[in-house]
């Protein structure tokens, strides 16, 4: 793809936009970077891009930058139906996401991982497995550094692991992973998409350009995923906690089993540091992706026996008066909370926050079976109480601090207090990390 002297508009100067603008300018493109924020708000970004030949249009977007250009690179935070993106496509201008741009300059085998839940843990684990097996590896995408930073660096690597969100897949055209993994699909981001099916369709685009030479790693136990997988062109490689598979990765008592082309490898799970049924699925997916691309049994098993949970995903905080406290602030949707609830019994659950538009009803059965006390916070508390309040003793708290104190008084020794909100954090906190840190601080102060 020739970039020199090409007119390119970069829309949105968040992380991927900044990285894209830098790369394009370094390649000799005539770059216009545009953002609705002004110079004051973007002072740090402007300093970061100082010295590069970039034209900035800030505090507004000009239509001409979208219709009289060769290419638009759009940040994932910009909705697909933005009027100026529609204008661009109507006038024949190509619109691409940053991952589409990056993929045109990446030659190493790419493992791309998507799903509603588990993406970050699985992607991190894929990167660690590749590195432990001696492959020089770049890990990026929706986790850590933008994918475009790899071609920008000029570095040559042997493997690439990328976490990919539905937003990033909206503007792909030739993006083609050697291995694409779909971990699960549950309702999420319905504040962005017009309906659940539109969100599902965005996720499935990860397989769009694969051929029979590629692999699709899919969750056999997620009926929606499995049904969609039947029409894929890539070689299907399922993973399952519930079914024994003739080809794929599955769990049987005390071990994970990998079967491929008549060969079988077994991975005892007794010493795995990652706990919880959701992590068993994440490990199976990561192993499938990496074993298909040359990783070895012994080295991979050794890595798995030492790999620990990422922050804010089912993280053990401490035990107080016989009660164990777990922080799962990254669980911002129903599917993620379901996995957490499946991992414990006798739970006092703290949930709530900014409502994302989906139903909480799918949690009803698990709440009834496993939750003794439901402590609700934030904007979504009223609707959560309506949908789930009849299945456990339900309480309301005005703040997270108040909720933790209430949990300490309600929960019996031997039981678990779990922060797993099923909502985003923006009604009360800057982000899910701040929510996590506040929870940890209160628990440590008990």
The CA distance from 376 to 373, in Å, is: 10
Q: Is 125 exposed, middle or buried (0-12, 13-18, 19+ CB in 10 A)?
A: buried
> How far is Cα 75 from Cα 80, in angstroms, rounded to an integer?
10
How far apart CA 78 and CA 74 sit, in angstroms, is 7
178 an active-site residue?
no
- Tell me the C-alpha distance between 415 and 324, whole Å: 7
Cα torsion at 121, 425, 356, 224 (round to 10°)? 10
Catalytic residue among 133, 142, 184, 279: 142
Q: How far is CA 244 from the centre of its chain?
A: 27
| 395 is annotated as an active-site residue | no
Catalytic one among 15, 119, 203, 356?
119
C-alpha–C-alpha distance, residues 428 and 393, integer Å: 24
List of residues 6+ apart from 41 with CB closer than 8 A: none
Indicate the SS3 state at residue 3. coil
| Residue among 415, 210, 437 nearest 311 (CA) | 437
The closest alpha carbon to 255, from 269, 271, 239, belongs to 269
The half-sphere exposure of 113 on its side-chain side, counting CA atoms within 13 A, is 32
Report which secondary-structure segment, H or E, holds 236.
Answer: strand 235-240
Annotated catalytic residue within 178, 189, 330, 339? 189
**260 in catalytic set:** no
Token reading at 195: 């309906």
- For the annotated catalytic residues, the residue numbers are 119, 142, 189
């Amino acid at each position: 793809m020739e970039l020199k002297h090409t007119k390119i508009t970069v829309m949105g100067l968040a992380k991927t936009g900044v990285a894209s603008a830098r790369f394009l300018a370094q390649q000799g493109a005539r770059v216009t970077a545009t953002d609705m924020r002004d110079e004051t708000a973007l002072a740090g970004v402007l300093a970061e891009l100082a010295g590069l030949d970039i034209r900035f249009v800030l505090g507004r977007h000009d239509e001409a930058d979208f219709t009289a250009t060769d290419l638009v690179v759009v940040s994932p935070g910009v909705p697909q139906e933005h009027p100026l993106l529609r204008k661009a496509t109507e006038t024949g201008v190509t619109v691409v996401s940053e991952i589409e741009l990056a993929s045109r300059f990446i030659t190493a085998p790419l493992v791309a991982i998507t799903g509603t839940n588990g993406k970050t843990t699985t992607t991190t684990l894929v990167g660690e497995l590749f590195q432990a097996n001696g492959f020089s590896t770049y890990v990026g995408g929706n986790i850590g550094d933008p994918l475009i930073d790899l071609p920008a660096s000029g570095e040559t690597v042997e493997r690439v692991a990328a976490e990919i969100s539905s937003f990033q897949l909206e503007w792909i055209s030739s993006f083609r992973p050697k291995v694409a993994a779909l971990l699960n699909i549950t309702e999420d981001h319905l504040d962005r998409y017009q309906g659940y099916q539109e969100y599902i369709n965005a996720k499935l685009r990860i397989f769009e350009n694969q051929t029979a030479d590629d692999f699709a790693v899919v969750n056999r136990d997620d009926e929606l995923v499995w049904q969609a997988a039947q029409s894929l062109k890539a070689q299907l490689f399922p993973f399952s906690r519930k079914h024994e598979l003739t080809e794929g990765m599955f769990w049987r008592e005390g071990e994970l089993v990998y079967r491929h082309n008549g060969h079988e490898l077994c991975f005892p799970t007794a010493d795995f540091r990652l706990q919880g049924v959701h992590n068993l699925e994440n490990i199976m997916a990561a192993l499938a992706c990496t074993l298909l691309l040359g990783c070895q049994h012994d080295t991979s098993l050794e890595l798995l026996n030492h790999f620990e949970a990422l922050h804010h995903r089912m993280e053990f905080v401490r035990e107080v008066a016989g009660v164990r406290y777990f922080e799962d602030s990254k669980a911002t949707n129903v599917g993620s909370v379901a996995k957490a609830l499946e991992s414990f019994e006798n739970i006092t659950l703290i949930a709530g926050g900014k409502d994302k538009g989906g139903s909480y009803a799918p949690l009803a059965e698990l709440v009834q079976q496993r939750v003794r006390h439901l402590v609700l916070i934030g904007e979504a508390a009223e609707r959560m109480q309506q949908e789930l309040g009849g299945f456990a003793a339900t309480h309301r708290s005005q703040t997270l601090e108040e909720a933790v104190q209430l949990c300490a008084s309600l929960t019996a020794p031997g039981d678990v207090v779990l922060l797993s909100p099923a909502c985003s954090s923006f009604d009360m906190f800057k982000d899910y990390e701040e929510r996590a840190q506040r929870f940890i601080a209160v628990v440590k102060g008990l």
